Amino acid sequence: MKALIDGILKFQSEAFPKRSDLFKHLATTQHPGTLFITCSDSRVVPELLTQQEPGELFVIRNAGNIVPSYGPQPGGVSATVEYAVAVLGVTDIVICGHSDCGAMTAIASCKCMDHLPAVSGWLQHAESAKVINQSRQHISDAARLSSMVRENVIAQLANIQTHPSVRLAQEKGQLNLHGWVYDIETGAVEALDGASQAFVSLAEHPTTCAVAAKVAAVA
């Protein structure tokens, strides 16, 4: 805890004064442009990765960057997605997986999780990705995990499109969906190209989008 408290004190004495006008503005309003959904992994820091200031990202973090399909008993993820889209009006949603993901490693290796019933139940929301990944041949365990991480991003993009607020925003041409995979060791990010369903370098293809907003129909 000492490191955290020291960090708070440093923030108050150094970082906060440099952004005092920004925080004064943010004290009563927020207008983030992007909902960023990623893993709870301590090595993945959305604001650092994207170099965004406070107020620019609305963030969901959980084990495996999972978005359950919309259902009769929506949970915290569903509520946060709905608020971001229907109230804050974000124009982009990013679902970001990452290398060496513990949740995806457990799925890809069929690791027994009887001692972790809550985790096991949560990862059922990645079942479609697991089935696809298991149907393929992989040259190594590392390749199997890499494929699982990517298939999970694709699966969660499908899941999020079952949410009414997301579908409505898409229908109105107001929302783009993005699927990313972040490599911790190199800092590289790959993005899902919706046309080819392949992951490509975001640095080389910065306009890549998984599901682009529809062109609004003319009345």
Instruction: Judge whether 21 counts as a catalytic residue.
Output: no
Active-site residue, selected from the candidate residues 96, 98, 144, 150? 98
Give SS3 for 136: coil
Active-site residue, selected from the candidate residues 101, 144, 150, 178? 101
Beta strands in the chain (DSSP E): 34-39, 57-62, 92-98, 176-182, 189-193, 198-201
Instruction: Judge whether 6 counts as a catalytic residue.
Output: no
> How do strand 198-201 and strand 176-182 relate by DSSP bridges?
unpaired
Active-site residue, selected from the candidate residues 6, 31, 43, 205? 43
Active-site residue, selected from the candidate residues 41, 144, 150, 178? 41
Name the token pair of 12: 């108050």
Closest CA to 159 of 141, 177, 144: 177
Closest CA to 136 of 144, 146, 128, 125: 144
Instruction: Judge whether 98 counts as a catalytic residue.
Output: yes
What is the C-alpha to C-alpha distance for residues 31 and 84, in angstroms, rounded to an integer?
A: 10
Give SS3 for 7: helix
Backbone angles phi, psi at 144, to 5 degrees: -65, -45
What is the C-alpha to C-alpha distance for residues 107 and 144, in angstroms, rounded to an integer?
A: 10
Instruction: Judge whether 101 counts as a catalytic residue.
Output: yes
Q: Which residues are catalytic?
A: 39, 41, 43, 98, 101
